[in-house]
A and B are shown apart, each in its own frame.
Chain A
Amino acid sequence: MFFRLEHRGQHSALWTYASPLLALALTLVTSALIFALLGKNPGVALYTFFIEPLTAQGSLAELLVKAAPLVLIGTGLSLGFRANVWNIGAEGQYTIGALAGGGLGLLFYGSNSALLLPAMILAGLLGGMAWAAIPAWLKTRFNANEILTSLMLTYVAQLVLIYLVTGPWRDPEGYGFPQSRMFADAGTMPILVSGTRLHLGVLIALLVVLAAWGLLGKSLVGFQLKVVGQAPRAARYAGFSDKALVWLALMLGGGLAGAAGLFEVAGPIGQLTPQISPGYGFTAIIVAFLGRLHPVGVLFAGLLLALSYLGGEAAQIDLGLPGAVTGIFQGILLFYLLGCDILIHYRLHVGHRAGAAQPARATS
């Protein structure tokens, strides 16, 4: 055998932090090669992709605005994934959350009440939870697999959105175009730094990350989520209710996805339109795992993915690279990040060395 992996027994503190850096270095080398093949100066291209979107205060705000929904949804999903509940329909929960909260904003269009926005946020949260409640109920009552139900409901949610914005919720002054009115000021997320798009939702996303961190570290629920994910059978013996955890996981994921949807429509978009998400609900699944299902990891993963989108746009504008390169670049980046994580749990041996036989190991 040329190289061999040996389980460390305990995860490496060093590689927990070093592996993403190694992955970034490998991505830099690989993408430099690709850019050179495409006839672009690799140095300039890499600068455009990675540094340019970070170089100014305004750009940083944009990065946070782009990352916020990914982080918010990713945090909720990661808690559920820890319990092995496979909610892959966050995109639909996002949509229904946006509709529930946004619908309230349209219903009270003339209102100047300071309560309108909080009510919309609450409605967004509840809307996402309600949509996630369907897979939860079907799972706990009828044993129907949540992968299928949550995914299918995403398409249904999108069609509900199209129906509402082309029909009943259409802007009466909008020449029949498929969009709602713009939300009034009372129904719009306040901007935190004037001159930017940095809105309240970004701050809330950060607070949610902190709260989730606390939840995982200290509370019984966090402990349950951890145990169930790591050793489901032990959890069952310990008397944790499977059903309660399915509900909890889907409510957390759905609620935060719904809130994220509301933040986007009442924030950067400002109205309901047929397209309110560039696939945030799906990308957030990657963010959750890239962040190793930990809230702080999710935060960094969300920022990195957001950066890769912004970098991809900059590469199109400044370098004339086709949009497809963004996807390839993201794929490579993710592959390295995911692949390098092995160094946290395993030691790499190169060459021959007769090691003591160890039992097979599995981690979930």
Chain B
Amino acid sequence: MSGDFGWFVPVVLSVISASTPLLLAATGELVTEKSGVLNLGIEGMMLVGAVVGFAVTLSTGSAGLGILAAALAGAGMALAFAILTQILLANQVATGLALAILGTGLSALIGKGYVGVALQPLPKLTLPLLSGLPVIGPILFHQDVLVYGSFAFVAGVSWFLYHSHAGLVLRAIGDSHHAAHAIGYSVVAIRFAAILFGGAMSGLAGAYMSLAYTPMWAENMTAGRGWIALALVVFATWRPARLLLGAYLFGGITILQLHVQGLGLAIPSQFLSMLPYLATILVLVLISRDAARIRLNAPACLGKHFHASG
């Protein structure tokens, strides 16, 4: 640690680990919502991802397999949601909430045997030379695969949505499923894919919790982060780049308020603990004033049923 920046690097590292699970889950949910589907079950999918990722890593010794399994488990949960909402046209809000309840219970049942078991944290991947740079080395080039992944997914999703044909179709379906259907796109199939992607990303977010952030399994260990991720998609006004801002704003202020507490100021800690929530509202208000712009990004069919017969 060098000179005056001694405090800087560890603080940024804390912010990164607090923000990464939010970013991963929110990126997945953003794709789901862009296709016109609102899945409120992030918390449940994250928990199942967390416990499955932990269990598989522990039994196979391979964090790679654990991460893969977590993504699959999240997608598996999302599959149930997709069948209900896309084929059986069940209400999305209620089904998502039911998924959260189911995932909480299921993860607890799966995890019974893993309580109190320790695991090595996910290894950091170091880029030679670059990671030796002062300040930016440890921040940018000495992270685990899921942190790198969280940035890659934001970039990838951003490119996909706005620069690929498939992304155009996805957005079209989210904005007007009738029109997209009339042109000949399979609304249900594409929404299925978007929902499964969202689930897989929630699974990864869970894996980050149980493998890297706090390498352990404990019931309900996500402690409400799925809900924050959901809010962040709204915060980002459905634009991937803004998710980065939102996740790091929220994670950053969470860490900041802990540091302010450590300074021993005469402010009740509860008021400091409110700051991340209040700051998110404040920034949302500031960026929401341009109503037309938001309407442009918000998927018009969000939460609505689609059924094509014949």
Determine direct contact between A and B, CB below 8 Å: yes
A contacts, CB < 8 Å to B: 4-7, 81, 86, 138, 142-145, 147-149, 151-153, 155-156, 159-160, 162-163, 166-167, 282, 285-286, 288-290, 322-332, 334-335, 338-342, 345-346, 355-358, 360-364
Contact assessment for A335 and B230 in the assembled complex, using a CB-CB cutoff below 8 Å: no
Give Cα distance in the complex from A338 to B90, angstroms: 5
Contact assessment for B309 and A334 in the assembled complex, using a CB-CB cutoff below 8 Å: no
B98 at the interface (CB under 8 A from A): yes
Q: A143-B289, A335-B80 are in contact. Are A153 and B277 (CB under 8 A)?
A: yes
Nearest 8 A/B pairs, CB to CB: A327-B105, A331-B102, A289-B94, A324-B108, A334-B98, A338-B90, A357-B310, A163-B270
- Chain B's interface: helix, strand, loop or mixed, by majority? helix
Q: Which residues of B contact A162 (CB under 8 A)?
A: 270
Contact assessment for A160 and B102 in the assembled complex, using a CB-CB cutoff below 8 Å: no
Contact of A155 (CB < 8 Å), options: B103, B268, B277: B277
Give Cα distance in the complex from A324 to B109, angstroms: 6
Q: Which residues of B contact A331 (CB under 8 A)?
A: 98-99, 101-103, 105-106
Contact assessment for B90 and A142 in the assembled complex, using a CB-CB cutoff below 8 Å: no
Contact assessment for A148 and B99 in the assembled complex, using a CB-CB cutoff below 8 Å: no
Contact assessment for A360 and B304 in the assembled complex, using a CB-CB cutoff below 8 Å: no
Contact assessment for A342 and B105 in the assembled complex, using a CB-CB cutoff below 8 Å: no
B135 at the interface (CB under 8 A from A): no
Q: How many A-B residue pairs have CB under 8 A?
A: 177
Tell me, rounded to whole Å, the shortest Cβ–Cβ distance linking B149 to chain A.
25
C-beta contact mask, B275-310 vs A, less than 8 Å → 1, else 0? 001101100110011010010000001011111111
B178 at the interface (CB under 8 A from A): yes
Contact assessment for A363 and B309 in the assembled complex, using a CB-CB cutoff below 8 Å: no
B151 at the interface (CB under 8 A from A): no
B182 at the interface (CB under 8 A from A): yes
Give Cα distance in the complex from A166 to B284, angstroms: 31
Interface centre among A152, A156, A358 (most CB of B within 10 A): A152
Give Cα distance in the complex from A160 to B225, angstroms: 20
Q: How large is the interface on B (under 10, 10 to 19, 20 to 34, 35 or more residues)?
A: 35 or more
B177 at the interface (CB under 8 A from A): yes
Contact assessment for A338 and B281 in the assembled complex, using a CB-CB cutoff below 8 Å: no
Give Cα distance in the complex from A81 to B92, angstroms: 13
B227 at the interface (CB under 8 A from A): yes
Contact assessment for B80 and A289 in the assembled complex, using a CB-CB cutoff below 8 Å: no
Contact assessment for B268 and A167 in the assembled complex, using a CB-CB cutoff below 8 Å: yes
Tell me, rounded to whole Å, the shortest Cβ–Cβ distance linking B281 to chain A.
5
Closest B residue to A81 by beta carbon equals B93
B97 at the interface (CB under 8 A from A): yes
User: B216-273: which residues lie under 8 A (CB-CB) from chain A?
Assistant: 219, 224, 227, 230-231, 234-235, 268, 270-271, 273
Closest B residue to A135 by beta carbon equals B281
B189 at the interface (CB under 8 A from A): no
Can you list 17 residue pairs at the A/B interface with Cβ under 8 Å?
Answer: A6-B309, A7-B309, A138-B285, A142-B285, A149-B284, A152-B280, A159-B270, A162-B270, A286-B97, A286-B101, A289-B91, A322-B109, A324-B105, A346-B89, A357-B310, A358-B309, A362-B304
Contact of A360 (CB < 8 Å), options: B108, B109, B224, B306: B306
Contact assessment for A332 and B281 in the assembled complex, using a CB-CB cutoff below 8 Å: no
Closest A residue to B278 by beta carbon equals A156
Contact assessment for B90 and A282 in the assembled complex, using a CB-CB cutoff below 8 Å: no
Tell me, rounded to whole Å, the shortest Cβ–Cβ distance linking B282 to chain A.
10
Q: Which residues of A contact B271 (CB under 8 A)?
A: 159, 163
Q: Which residues of B contact A289 (CB under 8 A)?
A: 91, 93-94
Q: Which residues of B contact A147 (CB under 8 A)?
A: 230-231, 234
Contact assessment for A145 and B284 in the assembled complex, using a CB-CB cutoff below 8 Å: yes
